[in-house]
């Protein structure tokens, strides 16, 4: 079974703090993704990575950065957290270009106060 894990289920941070969300997959997948999910807006893609050290902006990259130093790990960084970044963050991975099925992690509910 593919397993995608995220470092925290719940996180509370203060405005202005630097926040790291970690995601690890154990199936040697090429692609990894970070989404945020908000009521009424659905899942929106923040960034994705198709190879180690390669990244591409998604639909809402502003205020975020990512890091992929190893194939199995994809980090989402909030350089200076703001209250409008309070959300559920979901990480996903997929095998490669011809495998479209994305496997999701359990999510991290981030609250910025």
Partner 1 sequence: EDKVVQSPLSLVVHEGDTVTLNCSYEVTNFRSLLWYKQEKKAPTFLFMLTSSGIEKKSGRLSSILDKKELSSILNITATQTGDSAIYLCAVERYTGTASKLTFGTGTRLQVTL
Kindly tell me which residue out of 34, 94, 110, 112 binds partner 1, with binding defined by CB under 8 A: 94
36 lies in the site for partner 1, by CB under 8 A: no
Cα(55)–Cα(10) distance, rounded to whole angstroms? 26
Q: Are 81 and 13 in contact (CB under 8 A)?
A: yes
Comparison of 108 and 113: residue with beta carbon closer to partner 1: 108
| Sole window of 14-22, 60-68, 76-84, 92-100 interacting with partner 1 (rule: CB under 8 A) | 92-100
The SS3 of residue 39 is coil
Of the pair 16, 106, the CB lying nearest partner 1 is at 106
Residues 6 or more apart whose Cβ sits within 8 Å of residue 103 = 2, 4, 25, 27, 29, 92, 93, 94
The residue ranges that bind partner 1 (CB under 8 A) are 4, 31, 33, 35, 40-45, 48, 50, 54, 56, 58-59, 90, 94, 97, 100-107
């Amino acid at each position: 079974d593919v397993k995608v894990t995220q470092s925290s289920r719940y996180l509370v941070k203060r405005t202005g703090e630097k926040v790291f969300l970690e995601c690890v997959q154990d199936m040697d997948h090429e692609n990894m993704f970070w989404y945020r999910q908000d009521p009424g807006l659905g899942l929106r893609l923040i960034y994705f990575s198709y190879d180690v050290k390669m990244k591409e902006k998604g639909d809402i990259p502003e205020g975020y950065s990512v890091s992929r130093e190893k194939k199995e790990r994809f980090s989402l960084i909030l350089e200076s957290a703001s209250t409008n970044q309070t959300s559920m963050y979901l990480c996903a991975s997929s095998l490669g270009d011809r495998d479209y099925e994305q496997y999701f992690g359990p999510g991290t509910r981030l609250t910025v106060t």
